[in-house]
Structure 1
Amino acid sequence: MPEPFEYAPAPESTSVVDLRPSYGLFVDGDFRDGAGESFKTVNPATEEVLAEVAEASEADVDAAVAAARRAFEGPWGRMPGRERAKYLFRIARIVQERSRELAVLETLDNGKPIRESRDVDVPTVAAHFFYYAGWADKLDHAGLGTDPRPLGVAGQVIPWNFPLMMLAWKVAPALACGNTVVLKPAETTPLTALLFAEICQQADLPPGVVNVVTGAGATGRAVVAHPGVDKVAFTGSTEVGKAIARAIAGTPKRSTLELGGKAANVVFDDAPLDQAVEGIVTGIFFNQGHVCCAGSRLLVQESVADEVLTRLKERMATLRLGDPLDKNTDVGAINSAEQLARIRALSEVGREEGAEGWSAACELPERGFWFPPTVFTGVTQAHRIAREEIFGPVLSVLTFRTPAEAVEKANNTPYGLSAGVWTEKGSRILWMAQQLRAGVVWANTFNKFDPTSPFGGYKESGHGREGGRHGLAAYLQEAQR
């Protein structure tokens, strides 16, 4: 056999990022020391400490909420939409100007490949701010009632898998609608949120409009439970989402919760198989599988199951795992030791329950948190790996014979965030989309996002929608229609 094509190393330089030894909190337009302890954020590819970050106390959260309230009741809340739009446009342009810096910092702190940070995450961030800037002076025409008004102070808690993108999904519509924000980034990936705070300063955003309080679970709970917060937005695990729902029950707080998923990627026998295999790979191995809407359950029609699996393994053998800053890398590092332990534990359970795991030959780096792309066959719906969200590069393969069986198996989950359908028949795509209980159904593609399209789920995948015109409704008071 011919030797595989070799790629010369193509590392991205980190010189564009000016990492500080320590970071404080961003409150009322300025950085300040926190009243609590500090914690370390590390590079998951090397386990090297990147910086010390302040852990916000309840007193710090109080100060951030008070600053947000002053801004809401002051200049920002009284500002016409056309003036708010100027700030959002300015932020979007600065994000584009500093895109390389943001992409490198995201990869350093998160572990995802630089190609994904550079080509997907950062452009999507800018697109969301551009899109919602366009809505800021048109809220009367959004179909959300006459004279729509902002809710007030939004407490937003974002995850570690898409730190900057999830920030944009939440901050951009909140500001467009006239709200102010107290943002709590994930404790393992706070650095791009703090760089975004610098961008807010560079854009001359009025003090208090955006505040960033870093910390772990206790800080997030303080933001969610604070009586001065009018709206809670959270993306993360279903378990934490349930805890948030309990915490705000009986209060007037509004909420949007985008939680876990166990998406089915359904491949019919008439699908374009090469294209479908690319979609399968994108669906589960993009961002190391750290994706709520990942296509972690592959449902293949029996007549083409062997062929799809053969082509899939051949494609997996070409994936390059390694240094996330190398532009040739396809699969980066797992975000944390804790997440790696969960992936390993559930994969071992899959083998113990009788499924057969396969990974292409792959040399893992000696330092950092790594897990090879893995596919499990012989999986049944009773297997834990087919029911629980692994949140890693692990694919479970099941088969079906009829469209009705595919729908039954796809919907046999407590989650309902996303799904994919691969077939040449448009009528089948439309029928499947109607039958699948999922917030987003992709047709002959997977993991495609656009700021104009709403995103969200059903059942234990949460409630509410982010993106598009629907994303505005989450940040506006209900008005007379």
Structure 2
Amino acid sequence: MNAINVIEPATGQVLETLEQTTEAELDLVIARAAKAQNQWSTESPQRRAQTLLALADAIERHCEELAHLEARNVGMPISDARGAVSGAATTFRYYSASPERLLGQTIPVDGGIDMTFREPIGVVGLITPWNYPLTIASWKIAPALAAGNAVVLKPSEMTPLTSLRLAELAAEVGLPDGLLNVVIGPGSSLGRKLVDHPSIGKIAFTGSTSVGKEIARRAADTVKRVTLELGGKSAALVFADADLDAAAEGLVGAVFGNSGQDCCARSRVFVQRSALDAFLTKVHDVVTSIAVGDPLLESTQMGPLISAGQVERVASFVDDASVFVRGSIPSGAGYWYPPTVLYPIQDDAPAAREEIFGPVVSILPFDSEDEAVARANNTVYGLAGSIWTSDAARSLRVARSMEAGALAVNSYTSVRVSTPFGGFKQSGIGRELGPDALDAYTEVKNVYFDTSIR
């Protein structure tokens, strides 16, 4: 077998060595999952709910363990990692109530009555990225299991450790053997095999738009259901009447959180020209005060990037751009890149147009509301966005005009477990979270009863 070295980004050293799953082993995993799913789908809704609730409790009990594992494997600051673990527990707790909410309809029709049922798809393949491994795994696993499916999860080979530990906790609380499976290997081989496999009924993928397009093409051969949460180049619109302090301070999380390795990062900030100078001053103070360093220190606000290759990629966007201000980074080992603000910059510059996936933000002045909306929408992406204003009518008007799936007014947040999350245009297909995700892991079965016979 080929071994995979899992690297700790803050040190550049090997954190753990894992064996890859072979394609032959994947076939066996999927067969075992299909057998487990047949049994799981016949369990009562109450039994499925109790098991998911027990897993939520187990995640909470192991919060520190999981948070340290995530911080070391991803480079995420420990305080953020604790939040990610807590969020995963909340997700499983939310969907623990879902098995009893899988309701159908009764529909009166000529000559009889019609009933609908929501049935599980079967075995689903989940492919998750390296930036928020436990968080995004929970978004997919919890509704999939709640709906009665079995899961084959392929996390990124760069950050698989919390996914593996989650599967162990699931077994400890009584999830049936074979129902939640974690396989390890690169997307170019193992992920492709998972997408192509005829016994996989659905693929849910989070990652780049380019890979999502390839998955959609390959899934079409077996008419697999797909949910694709893809890239973004999200915009924030800051109007002159906004709370400029809050809008600037919020950039710590909105752009530099997880070192900018976030598909929802508000990496284009459009600022009304009359407020531009004041906003830039505030941003300068925010960026130069960001604490970049060891993810395990409580004071750290931003950690390293995931790899040396990611550092090179981010730098390539900044090399030819005008840097307004950048923060500081530690010296020595690790994959560090400073929080960076680009200004002045044109809308068509690569750094303002392409997804960088690093701690870089472009500041772009505008004059009118219509201009700001048009420029914000001038992108192939449509994942998230923010509107900063004290004018309630404007906030609603702009929100309805922006082409994005997850918008926030006077906030940079994008995700709540009870609400749908996903994008417009090339930012994806389908929705994660909320009741929409539960529906996406089911098929609707229609049954007609002829009542005319006496």
TM, length-normalised to structure 1 = 0.89
Q: Answer yes or no: is the 8 Å Cα contact 1:294–1:447 preserved in 2.
A: no
**1:112 is aligned to 2:79:** no
Q: Does 1:131 align with 2:94?
A: yes
Distance in 1 between the 2:118 and 2:377 partners? 37
Displacement, 1:475? 0.2
The aligned runs of 1:76-475 (5 Å cut-off) are: 76-118=40-82, 120-140=83-103, 146-217=116-187, 218-349=189-320, 351=321, 355-360=322-327, 362-475=328-441
Cα RMSD (Å) of the superposition? 1.4
Tell me whether 1:63 sits opposite 2:52 in the alignment. no
- Give how far 1:66 is off: 0.7
2:34 alignment partner, SS class:
helix
Contact between 2:323 and 2:340, CA under 8 Å: does it hold in 1? no
SS at match of 2:118: coil
- SS in structure 1 at match of 2:346: coil
Q: Which runs of 4+ in 1 moved over 3 A?
A: none
Residue 446 of structure 2 corresponds to residue 476 of structure 1:
no
Q: 1:300 to 1:228 in 2, by over 3 A?
A: same
CA contact (8 A) 2:6 2:157 kept: yes
CA distance in 2, matches of 1:176, 1:320: 40
> Is the Cα–Cα contact under 8 Å of residues 238 and 461 in structure 1 kept in the other structure?
yes
Q: Is the contact made by 1:114 and 1:325 (CA closer than 8 Å) also made in structure 2?
A: yes
In structure 1, what residue type is equivalent to 2:312? A
How far apart are 1:72 and its partner, in Å?
1.2
Count of aligned positions: 438
Superposed displacement of residue 57, structure 1: 1.5
In structure 1, list runs of 5 or more residues that go unmatched: 1-35
1:8 alignment counterpart: none
Q: Provide Cα deviations, 1:362-412, integer angstroms capped at 9, x if missing partner.
A: 242310100000000011111011110000000011111111001001000
Q: What is the identity, as a one-letter code, of the residue corresponding to 1:62?
A: D
CA distance in 1, matches of 2:312, 2:25: 32
Indicate which of 32, 37, 48 corresponds to 2:2.
37
Q: TM-score, normalised by structure 2?
A: 0.94
Deviations 1:143-196 (A, max 9, x none): 9x8321111111000000000000100000000000000000101101101111
Q: Is the 8 A contact 1:157 1:184 kept in 2?
A: yes
Distance 2:423 2:445 in 1: 24
Structure 2: which amino acid aligns with 1:221? Answer: R
Alpha-carbon distance change, 412 to 207 in structure 1, aligned in 2, over 3 angstroms: same
Mark the CA change 1:142 to 1:153 in structure 2 (over 3 Å): closer, same or farther.
farther
Secondary structure at the aligned position of 2:177 is classed as: coil
SS at match of 1:478: strand
Q: Which whole-Å CA distance do the structure 2 matches of 1:326 and 1:195 have between them?
A: 23
| C-alpha contact 2:383 2:405 (8 A) present in aligned 1 | yes
| Cα 1:458–1:142 shift into 2, 3 Å | farther
Q: Report the CA distance shift for 1:405/1:254 in structure 2 as closer, same or farther (over 3 A).
A: same
Q: Which runs of 5+ in 2 are unaligned?
A: 107-114, 448-454
Question: 2: distance between equivalents of 1:328 and 1:238?
Answer: 34
Deviation at 1:480, TM superposition (A): 4.3
Aligned to 2:119, the other structure's residue is in SS state coil
